[in-house]
Structure 1
Amino acid sequence: MLLLAVTNLLTLPPLSLYVHVPWCIQKCPYCDFNSHTAKGELPERDYVNALLQDFETSLDAIQGRKLHSIFIGGGTPSLLSPSAYERLFAGLRQHIEFSDDIEITLEANPGTFEQDKFTGFRQTGINRLSIGIQSFQDEKLKKLGRIHHGEEAQRAVGMAFTAGFTNINLDLMHGLPNQSQDDALFDLKTAIALKPTHLSWYQLTIEPNTVFYSRPPVLPEDDALWDIQEAGQALLAESGYQQYEISAYSQPGRQSRHNLNYWQFGDYIGIGAGAHGKLTLLEEGAILRNWKTRLPTDYLNPAKPFEAGNRILTEEERPLEFMMNALRLNDGVEAGQFSQRSGLPLSSIADAVKEAQHQNLLSTDSQKLQPTRKGSLFLNDILALF
């Protein structure tokens, strides 16, 4: 593989691990993730074996590094057993050191909650849960194709606390079919009352290759969406949840370390069907992106490679890639981090930064790359300059 040199990659960013578990009980009509309906018993033993073999293919590129965070997403990762994760973590530790304060997140759906199972998850070392609630209203959940009910969602959060989890994220959506502002605020108020440490509050978007794309539901008008967003942000702020990213709100000090590493252009290995990764290769002076084969049957086939493809980011691509992530953060990033993570001098983006500042899209603080309030609303306008 030909590696193209970059100018100044002298430091390594934190290293995270993303693990993809591709199975769900049923596919939601809005979902464009790599998820597949589970049929019969899941091949979890074979899948964990494959995950560990997949991880071993990255060892040469990460020698001497520690894992800063692990995020297990899907699909529905909570369909696997605690023993599967116990074996996965034991296998990983044979090859890489976990940092003392590692954050390990498991995505879970309320429809798969069992108290003993989630107590077992906590005992494996998983210390953060991300619960995919989306709404607490049965009518909305039915339209979203979710398998749980509102009361189940509330019980699931209680079970998570009982299991010993003290760091819990709840995923909620707004802009749902026929959703009013009162509906959206009801969901937020219900979530806040459960006292999670983190809330991810996303606007529903219609993505290609989904049921909603082929049969679009009736969604709120743009003015109504704006009102929902404004009212929801005010409620979250009043309740002690600080917005630190476009859709992420946390209690003080409870930001997602894993997602912060993404947004700060950190490194991450991706293992599992359809997983993506990004690695800084100091010796070669390069930034590598790669992705794994999508179909679980192919991923589990020993005759086929785990990796579906890879590429080196060119010098022309790196500024946009960096800014696409960094500008999701309300506080942006330190200006010097651009050079550290991209290997390019700040002078390479000076003209674009100056123009964005002229348009009041970027802060004029020379020590930061930070969107203004206007810039956060018109992020694509900033990115078009890079």
Structure 2
Amino acid sequence: MRQRITPKDFLKKNWLLVAILACICLAGVYPKLGSKEGPLKTEFSVKYGAVSLMFLISGFSLKTDSIIHTFRQYKLHLFIQLFTFVLIPIYAQCFIKFLTMFGINGWVLKGIVTVACMPPPVSSAVILTRAAQGNETAAIFNSVIGSFLGIIITPLSLLLNLGSTTIVPLFSTVMQLTSTVLLPLALGQAIKTLTSFRGHQIPLNTISQCALLFVIYTTFCDTFLVPETGLSALDVIFTIFSVLLLQIALIILSFKISSSMKKSFTPADVIAIVFCSTHKSLTLGKFTFLIKVVSKLNIFFLFSGIPILKIMFHGYSHLSQISLPLLVYHPTQIILGGLMVSQLKDWLHSQRRRKLPV
């Protein structure tokens, strides 16, 4: 007889998903509070507060032995980076050829390809991996490495896939990754190594997840304040459905391939792969690319890897179509990630039980 799941049990098991949905609702009620122009000063409180705090806690939590072991997992790192920077853009090109049969706006399709060329996220993939009890060290390593690689690979990928030229502020991007990710990680490890502090009396995992929720809340505040796109309702519906379908397909593909490679990847590795290889620049999100799309019209637009678009030029007719997939991909990957945490955790435990001697 199946055990009846009470609302309390459901909330305990899926509290992160419920909290994410609550953040979205709160952001929708009064988005100006958590926007970049709002009183919370998110340009500082998110980048140098919440994100740095998450990686400082990760520095406390990580075992030095696991860090050394992770450096040696070259197959895992190679899989994630190739999936992110090679397979996804190729898959996106095939996917949009399928979508053209349904008459979807061609500029929206260009936006989907643009999403596919983006680097992986940093903080969200790490926190979701930890929440699902996956390989957190591998998630941190690949998120950071992917972000650095994105400085070079993303412009080249955009050029190859869209025929666009890209200017990247290399120094500021490296400095930001160093100050908000690497330094907090190193500081956490140093405190753990040089002092007796271990944080056992402090709910570090809960604090880290709350920091992520703050990032999600402020991100959605910015999303709700984005100006009207001027697109038809049909374009918007098609875009949401297409992006959701793309993400689900990538999640299934990454999970099926990695979980079948049992000799190379543990179940914990598979969880890190699913989040790190399919998400696109979620919370660090200060990569700024100035793109000149080579076409009949020269379109300049500025976007951040969160991705929360700031519409810099309103006079170009195709800008909103290209921007829309970038805006849609972000919230859907957050919601899907929240949905997957408890399922992946259950799958991980079931895999471990199978290996236990009878």
Q: What TM-score results when the alignment is normalised by the length of structure 2?
A: 0.25
| Structure number with higher relative contact order (C-alpha < 8 Å, ≥ 6 residues apart) | 2
Tell which structure's C-alpha radius of gyration is larger: 1
Q: What TM-score results when the alignment is normalised by the length of structure 1?
A: 0.24
